[in-house]
Amino acid sequence: MTETKTNAMWGGRFAAGPDAIMEAINASIGFDKRLARQDIDGSRAHAAMLAATGILRDSDVEAIRKGLLTVLSEIEGGAFQFSTALEDIHMNVEARLKEIIGEPAGRLHTARSRNDQVATDFRLWVRDQCDAAIAGLEALMRALLAQAEAGADWVMPGFTHLQTAQPVTWGHHMMAYVEMLARDRGRFTDARARMNESPLGAAALAGTSFPIDRHMTASALGFDRPMANSLDAVSDRDFALEFLAAASICAMHLSRFAEELVIWSSAQFRFVRLSDRFTTGSSIMPQKKNPDAAELIRAKIGRIFGANVALMMVMKGLPLTYSKDMQEDKEQVFDAADNLMLALAAMDGMVRDMTANREALERAAGSGFSTATDLADWLVRVLGLPFREAHHVTGSLVAMAEGVGVDLPDLTLSQMQSVHAGITEDVFGVLGVHNSVASRMSYGGTAPAQVRAQIARWKEILA
């Protein structure tokens, strides 16, 4: 039986036999070529340190430095030929470096291993993604601040259980997302600070007998310090998991807002109008304007959260230190990072372009007996009723209004007094939605003055 027939079950892709199968499962260059710049940055820092410590001759290191810059130029220019046979970005770069400068290229790997090399490259890449996420979040926060400032005193319904609860302001609603995204920003900032330690110099797992200077390479790569345990340095992927955890929470916040935009832009609500740049039409229904960008953002949480779970599953059973399983860390993180940045950019665009329908918001704010709590508070504050009794009286008045088909402010004084004789005309002063929101002056409340104070605070923070 020929080798091709033996491996027919694998299909034509693996007709070359077990060697091809092993090459396909073992190679990572198809995705880890994204680490090219980080790999070359790490190699340049490592080479400079080898020269400074006298481990390599200055002439060899200068040749390595120039060669690596040539390799980087080829990669960034699209001229570099990646080879699956060379497995990964590290070996691809080193092989090309040898073609360019010859024998000195073989000295570059002195006092390091692919284990600490990949850990360093990946950590640098994820650190860059934290910076990108922070920048994306800040851009979106500024877009929300602009919406909040424009509608700081526009009334709209606040919801619980997606049922009208109490009137709030458009600005207050926008600022709720500013607060959520600020915590996301904090999580990425904290994760970045924790991951900013260098694995380089840990070598395969035990460190090295060469007199290297790990503090020098750490500083050159912008790390705060070298990692203190060589076993941990090569086997840790906490930094990637923490990035994915922060990305998952952030994507969840974006998904919640996307859901609101889907609802608000519907014909039943008409709270917002999304621009043509972030909506699509229907192939059969000419009247449709679909909030596709919002819907796709809403779906991104699945991919991002899935990446978090997938990497957790890869890492959960691995003994120290490095195992080949850890090659499966990058694709998940790459995909999650790409989709998070796309979602942030799309949401930023939608928020900047969207137009709130002030009239529709105000009409909805007064529906559903939204000022019932204001009435109950008035009964407590003015008539001295215990809150539970005030709650009961208000519920009776809501039932009365519902029975006659009007809202609370439309009941007559005599109708109200039929439920509680102590009610006076002053009660009508608290039943309007504008009066309701203006009265919510507690810190963090929906009163326009409070909203404007929070807008000013965040504008100063983000300045």
Tokens read off for 64:
């390595």
What is the C-alpha to C-alpha distance for residues 30 and 380, in angstroms, rounded to an integer?
69
Note if 230 is an active site residue. no
Whole-number Cα distances in Å, 31 to 35, 170, 204, 272: 8, 44, 22, 40
Please give the span between the terminal C-alpha atoms of the chain, in angstroms, as a whole number: 73
* Structure tokens belonging to residue 321: 């230190």
Q: Distances in Å between the alpha carbon of 167 and those of 119, 201, 395, 447? A: 52, 60, 18, 10
What are the Cα distances from residue 1, in Å, to 8, 12, 19? 11, 16, 17
Half-sphere exposure of 231 (CA within 13 A, CB side): 4
Q: Quick one: which of 119, 117, 128 has its CA closest to 43?
A: 117
Report strand pairing: 197-198 vs 225-226: parallel
From CA 398, how far away is CA 402, in angstroms rounded? 6
At 228, is the secondary structure helix, strand, or coil? Answer: coil
One-letter identity of residue 253: H
In this structure, are residues 120 and 42 in contact, taking their beta carbons and an 8 Å threshold?
yes
List of residues 6+ apart from 393 with CB closer than 8 A: 376, 379, 385, 419, 420
CA-CA distance, 383 to 377, in Å (whole number)? 10
Rounded to an integer, what distance in angstroms lies between the CA atom of residue 14 and that of residue 236? 34
Selecting among 73, 83, 266, 282, the annotated active-site residue is 282
Q: Give the largest CA-CA distance in the chain.
A: 100
Contacts by residues 316-324 (CB-CB < 8 Å, ≥ 24 positions apart) = 318/235, 320/205, 320/231, 320/235, 321/115, 321/205, 321/231, 321/234, 321/235, 322/115, 322/204, 322/205, 322/234, 322/235, 324/26
100 in Cβ contact with 70 (< 8 Å)? yes
Active site residue 161: yes
Q: Dihedral angle at the C-alpha atoms of 144, 147, 150, 152, nearest 10 degrees?
A: -70
Instruction: Report the interhelical angle of 238-264 vs 292-315 (nearest 10°).
Output: 160
Among 341, 344, 370, CA closest to 432: 370
Q: Which residues are catalytic?
A: 161, 282
